[in-house]
Homo-oligomer: A and B are copies of this chain.
Amino acid sequence: MTELKGACVIGQSGGPTSVINASAYGVIRTALDSNVITKVYGAEHGIKGVLNDRLFDMDAEDAKELELLKYTPSSALGSCRYKMKDPDVDDTDYRRILEVFRKHDVRYFFYNGGNDSMDTCNKISKYMQKVGYECRVMGVPKTIDNDLFGTDHCPGYASAAKYIATSCMEVYQDARVYDTGMICIIEIMGRHAGWLTAAAALASEYGAGPDLIYLPETDFDMDLFLADVERVYRETGNCMVAVSEGIHYADGSFVSEAKTSATDGFGHAQLGGLAALLANIVKERTGAKVRGIELSLLQRCGAHLASETDIEEAYMAGKAAVENAVAGITDKMVAFERDTVDGHYVCRTKLLGLTEVANFEKKVPLAWINADHNGVTHDFIDYALPLIQGEPPLPKEDSLPRFARLKKVLAE
């Protein structure tokens, strides 16, 4: 293998997580320390930063501030949701990327994102191979949704899961404080995969979580749901429910979009989200005090509840991407495989072909969902619990988070 000298670009794409910056830091730190990578650029807003030739000079950043990226949620370089066209249909973007790569002698491209980002990564990789421009392309996985194919889990998932489990445990304490009873419906992210919503079961495992959990992996039946809720409420005087934002009826239509559903009894546009919708339906049916809570953006940016395991693995993924690329590997995504050593969870990196992972979704196995489709089995707990372990040493300033403050000096 010949040593490939040249600059690298790291870009972040898709929805933020609590640890995507830890992965970026893994890339940046390892690249800055490499003798082969000559310059380290951060693309502003993912691939858009390459297209617009807006690249930040990472060498210009203070090392201490860069290190704070490990504990800074969201995408410090800026993110994008930009779907690249097929290069056989329209190669304009690809020619532009090649032009910018040539201009800055970019020989390494690291893209940190989810399914769509791996698709972008794959297309760029294949294009560069086709036109004979030597550029090693590596995907670094990230998604709170945990739906990337071929990897045991994704960086970003565990921290969101820990936020969800902890918040459910706290809300559980709160939502049954009066003797009058309450039904509490918590809406959790995850349009197609129920990994995040399933994390609410961690709270129940520790004695203080939802009685009922509904994932998008199975069809939602409003009548069965209402019967479940009424039963628990009648038996215990309270009921706590976790629902995925992506729950859908058997015909595939999202419950959240059932604007004029006969079931909801209102027949007008929803202003609130799914939690508000279900809360109103349940209230109408039961007469109980009902509260809908949407965890919203908080669950994906709640870095104060990040899992140290997640942070370290996210960093490791970024580091592995650079090390493998420098060693001559290209066209791969870093993935995780889990092992058990002396009874302890261990996570190792492996590499998957970009074509393999792009655009495939991994869902919660149906075998991990209970027969009534209103909860998960212990297999899920065994899977998720090791991932959320560890409290990171969060940098604080006056007891508030001290996030990285980057200078963002544009190249040239």
Q: A16-B177, A271-B277 are in contact. Are A166 and B401 (CB under 8 A)?
A: yes
Q: A397-B206, A400-B166 are in contact. Are A171 and B301 (CB under 8 A)?
A: yes
Q: How far is the CA of A178 from the CA of B297 in the complex (A)?
A: 14
Q: In whole Å, how far is A294's beta carbon from the nearest beta carbon of chain B?
A: 7
Q: In whole Å, how far is A248's beta carbon from the nearest beta carbon of chain B?
A: 19
Q: A179-B48, A398-B385 are in contact. Are A173 and B403 (CB under 8 A)?
A: yes
**Interface assignment of A357: CB less than 8 Å from any CB of chain B:** no
**Interface assignment of A307: CB less than 8 Å from any CB of chain B:** yes
When the two chains form their complex, are residues B400 and A169 in contact, meaning their CB atoms are under 8 A apart? yes
**Interface assignment of A396: CB less than 8 Å from any CB of chain B:** yes
Q: In whole Å, how far is A213's beta carbon from the nearest beta carbon of chain B?
A: 16
**Interface assignment of A125: CB less than 8 Å from any CB of chain B:** no
Q: Which residues of B contact A304 (CB under 8 A)?
A: 166, 170, 304-305
Stretch of A75-83, A90-98, A326-334 at the chain-chain interface: A75-83
Q: What are the nearest 10 A-B pairs in CB distance?
A: A272-B272, A74-B173, A174-B301, A170-B301, A271-B276, A272-B276, A74-B174, A79-B177, A45-B179, A271-B272
Given contacts A169-B403, A171-B297, A271-B277, 16 further A-B contacts (CB under 8 A): A44-B179, A45-B179, A73-B173, A78-B178, A79-B177, A81-B178, A166-B304, A170-B301, A266-B269, A266-B271, A268-B269, A293-B297, A294-B296, A304-B304, A385-B398, A391-B399
Residues of A within 8 A of B (CB): 16, 44-45, 48, 72-75, 78-81, 162, 165-167, 169-171, 173-175, 177-179, 184, 202-203, 206-208, 266, 268-273, 276-277, 279-280, 291, 293-294, 296-298, 300-305, 307, 385, 388-391, 396-401, 403, 405
